[in-house]
Structure 1
Amino acid sequence: MTGHGTDAHPHGADRLCDAGDLVYSRAVRRGRVPRTDAEPVPCLLELALLHPDPDDMDWLVPTSPQEVMTRLLRGVYDEVSESHRRVGSAVEAFERYAGLGRRIQASAIASVSLEGGAAIRVLDGLARIQAAMDDATEACTGEVLTVQPGGIRREPELTEGLHRALALRSRGVRMRDLYTHVARHGQGLLNYLELMGDAVEARTLDEVVDRLILFDRTVAFIPANADHTMALELRHPALIDYFVTVFDRLWRLAIPVAVPLPDTGIEGISHREQSIAALLAEGHQDAVIAERLGISVRTCRAHIARLSETLGAASRTQLGVRIAQVGLDGAASRVPEVPAQLTPADQESPTAL
């Protein structure tokens, strides 16, 4: 523990202070406690005994006593030669909490427990997100599926999760990545795919859903806030099946990176301008179109200006009419709508939220 928590609560997870014991016991009995209750006892958050409620971030829910005990014992056994006393103390402490937990009604638990961990776990902070991703990478043996929204991949973003990608490749894990068409124009992505060889298969679409990373169709990671400083770790079979279905349907619609994008069939209209035209026909504003296609608003407006010039439109209204006349409002390459919670966001690297 560091900082304020260490000064106020100089102890380990094997024996909580009286204040921490009181708050954690209350959380286990009731299923959750207000975040303000934990402010005087930062040890509970630092030791991950409490974590944010996925449904209301102003509340904290207790980590399963069995899960806490398992995590604690893993570290204790590494030091077993000098820590026999701590093992017994930890088991005794968390068996008592487990007894309290058995009296909780299932509906009062915000995170449903499954074999291997919580069905939904909130990861608060980049350090915890990266640690959970590293654990999932280490456990992965077969397949990784990722959706990477946004535009051109910059080198720093691609190298951020490169250690995980290389570790997966070394174990023969296969990876399938979905990007937007705009990502094709970045040398960083091409360099990454060349480095990974046949371990990675990449395809692109006009637009994709928000960031999604699936390991072995068992555990998924998605962002939990707009700036990606929080994430959800998901293990519920129904959610995993849903994400796999979404991915597979988008994959079938996507075009391999090695294959050129199809000609629009309209002289002077690029593939990107065709995509912009279809979104304009749906009534979207410039900023929304730019976000969904992974380009800047300035670039989007430049394409709209060229589109207007090519189609001979003198106004935005006239442009809409011309788009419909030439058939750009129903392009075959458009992606079907998906649930609102899976809208595109900014860009990051493969295997990094």
Structure 2
Amino acid sequence: MAGRGTDEHPHGADRLCDLGDRVYSRAVRRGRVPRRDAEPVPCLLDLALLHPDPDDMDWLVPTAPQEVMTRLLRGMYDEVSASQRRVGSAVEAFEWYAGLGRGARSPQASASSAKEGPAIRVLDGVARIQAAMDEATQACTTEVLTVQPGGIRREAELSEGLHRATALRGRGVRMRDLYTHVARHGQGLHTYLELMGDAVEARTLDEVTERLILFDRAVAFIPANAERSMALELRHPALVEYLGTVFERLWRLALPLAAPLPDTGIEGISHRERSIAALLAEGHQDAVIAERLGISVRTCRAHIARLSETLGAASRTQLGVKMAQAGLDGPPRAAAPAPATPGRGSRTAR
């Protein structure tokens, strides 16, 4: 909606000049203005904000503000649509040039590229992420390693990965999964265990890294934004090996699902409250602690209140002192992981 205007009025209807704003506002209030009033601001006629009064050509009447807004929104929609079409064309062109680049390589490099795909690929949108995950699932032959942050897994989340896990189990693929300790309390998880049998093994930690899914130590998926509407598909050998090493070190520190959580050694203080105390001592806010441990902020604050009551602290400042006196200002004491025993407690879900 940009009008011709003059050199002094190079703008559209979405950003009128000061004089144009005054003349148009006056026209709206009064119903019309003399044509001579609009001569200093030809932009109003160019933008069709004013037009001649059919009953008296010496006067100009305004276009209704509601109509102007409609025109603006229509113009914005057209611009967004055009931008989307240009992005789509650019993606198609990129894929075409990428194909030419692969074709120009040696036969050995071409075969390797066809097998492995790009070293790093950005997956934009849930549909593309799901399609890439399904493709990796179909190609997987040996093992799947996953890190699943958050708390109790919802039924919808468990059902989402059921078809993949079932397909993997049918081909003899082994699965190992890391969760936060909170995930132990989800009924949906235990229901899933009955469905999956002994194909998978799970361990838990106080807190884990962001989500990771690693197929055959060859391709990994990690989130690319906080909303998880974008993901990175990683096939670079060094990156994949690094992520595999991170998983193995977390796995060694984690507790099998069948093993009980270690006792804190302090009467009235639970393992979770011990973990919260350590994070409080590091200076983290309630929301950060809740996210890292996979619990709600409300639950986190309830635990903090119980900590204060147990330790006899009347304020957060006093709680910090009491925690230090009780030896709660450091990480929980590590316990040697108990060997996983076959059976229901050693199985997990996605």
TM-score grouping bracket, smaller chain normalisation: 0.5 to 0.7
Secondary structure at 2:264 match in 1: coil
Structure 1 residues not aligned, in runs of 5+: 1-34, 51-61, 68-93, 103-112, 336-348
Q: Deviation of residue 43 (structure 1)?
A: 5.0
What SS is found at the alignment partner of 2:213? strand
Q: Give CA-to-partner distance per residue, 1:30-62, whole Å, 9 cap, x none.
A: xxxxx99974446537xx636xxxxxxxxxxx2
Larger radius of gyration: 2
Cα distance in 2 for residues equivalent to 1:334 and 1:320: 22
Does the Cα contact within 8 Å between 1:203 and 1:254 map onto a contact in 2?
A: yes
Kindly tell me the number of residue pairs found equivalent between the two proteins: 253
Q: Is the 8 A contact 1:179 1:203 kept in 2?
A: yes
1:63 and 2:106 aligned? no
3-state DSSP of counterpart to 2:329: helix
Q: Distance in 2 between matches of 1:118 and 1:250?
A: 28
Contact 1:148 1:350 in 2 (8 A): no
CA distance in 2, matches of 1:297, 1:258: 27
Cα distance in structure 2, aligned partners of 1:260 and 1:324: 26
C-alpha distance in structure 2 between counterparts of 1:142 and 1:196, whole Å = 16
- CA distance in structure 1 between the partners assigned to 2:89 and 2:209 by the alignment: 35
Q: 1:350 to 1:130 in 2, by over 3 A?
A: farther
CA contact (8 A) 1:38 1:44 kept: no
Partner SS state of residue 269, structure 2? coil
Give the AA of the match of 2:217.
R
2:262 aligns with 262
* 1:213-251 alpha-carbon deviations (Å, 9 max, x no partner): 000000000011111111000000111011011101100
Return the alpha-carbon distance in structure 1 between the equivalents of residues 82 and 250 of structure 2: 44
1:245-284 correspondence to structure 2 within 5 Å: 245-284=245-284
The amino acid across from 1:322 in the alignment is K
Which residue of 1 is the match for residue 212 of structure 2?
Answer: 212
Q: Which residue of 2 aligns with 1:224?
A: 224
Query: For the structure 1 residues 312 and 114, does the alpha-carbon distance in structure 2 shift closer, same or farther, using more than 3 Å as the test?
Result: farther
Task: Verify: 1:49 aligned to 2:81, yes or no.
Answer: no
In structure 2, relative to structure 1, the CA distance for the partners of 1:114 and 1:329 (3 Å cut) is farther
C-alpha distance in 1, partners of 2:207/2:334?
A: 8
Structure 1 residue 212: Cα displacement: 0.3
1:240 aligns with 2:228: no
Provide the secondary structure at the position in 1 that maps to 2:260. Answer: coil
Separation in 1, partners of 2:254, 2:162: 24
Partner of 1:305: 305
Contact in 2 for aligned 1:65/1:98 (Cα 8 Å): no
TM-score, structure 2 as length reference:
0.67
- Verify the 8 A CA contact 2:275 2:332 in the aligned structure 1: no
Note if contact 1:149-1:179 (Cα within 8 Å) is conserved in structure 2.
Answer: yes
Coordinate RMSD, CA, aligned: 2.7
What is the TM-score when the length of structure 1 is the normalising length? 0.66
User: Does structure 1 conserve the Cα–Cα contact (< 8 Å) formed by 2:278 and 2:332?
Assistant: no
The answer to whether residue 219 in structure 2 is matched with residue 187 in structure 1 is no
**1:238 alignment partner, SS class:** helix
Shift of 1:192: 1.4
Mapped contact 1:114–1:236 kept (Cα < 8 A): no
The answer as to whether partners of 1:263 and 1:270 remain within 8 angstroms in 2 is yes
- What amino acid is the match of 2:236? H
The one-character-per-residue Cα deviations of 1:144-193 (angstroms, maximum 9, x if unpaired) are 00000000111111111100000000000000000000000111111112
Do 2:152 and 2:182's aligned partners in 1 also have CA atoms closer than 8 Å?
yes
Residue 143 of structure 1 and its aligned partner are, at CA, apart by: 0.3
Q: Which runs of 5+ in 2 are unaligned?
A: 1-79, 107-112, 336-347
- Which residue is equivalent to 1:157? 157
Name the structure 2 match of 1:176. 176
1:66–1:287 Cα change, 3 Å? closer
